[in-house]
Structure 1
Amino acid sequence: MQTFLVLGGTGTTGRRIARRLRASGHPVRTASRSGGDVHFDLGDPASWAPALDSVRAAYLMEPDLRPGADRHERLPRLVAEAVAAGVRRLVLLSAHGVGEAGDDHPLKAAEQAVRESGVEWTVLQPGWFAQNFSETFWLPGIEAGNLALPAGDGRTPFIDAEDIADVAVAALTAEAGHNGQTYQLTGPRPLGFAEAVERIATATGRPISYTPIAPEAYLELLTAQGTPPAVARIFTNLLIDIREGRGITVSDGVERALARPPRSFEDFVAGSRLSRNPRTPRRP
Structure 2
Amino acid sequence: MSTKFARIALAAALGLALAGCGKEEAPTATAPPPAVAAKAAATPDGAILASVQHVKAGNFDALLQSVLPPDEYAKAKADYSKEMNKEPATEEDKAKFAENMTKLTASDAEAKLWAELEPKLKEMDAQMAQQMPMMVAMGKGFIQSSIQQNQELNDAQKQQAVQAVDALGNWVSTAKFTDPALAQKSIKIVCDTARKLNLKTLDEARALSYEQAMGKIGVGFLGLKEVLAVYGFSIDQTLDSVKATTLSSDANSAKVKIDYSLLNTPLSVESDLVKVGDRWFGKEMLESLKKKDEAPGEVAPAAPANG
TM-score (structure 1 length as normaliser) = 0.25
Between Structure 1 and Structure 2, the one with more helix by share is 2
Larger strand proportion of the pair: 1
Higher relative CO (Cα under 8 Å, sequence separation at least 6) belongs to 2
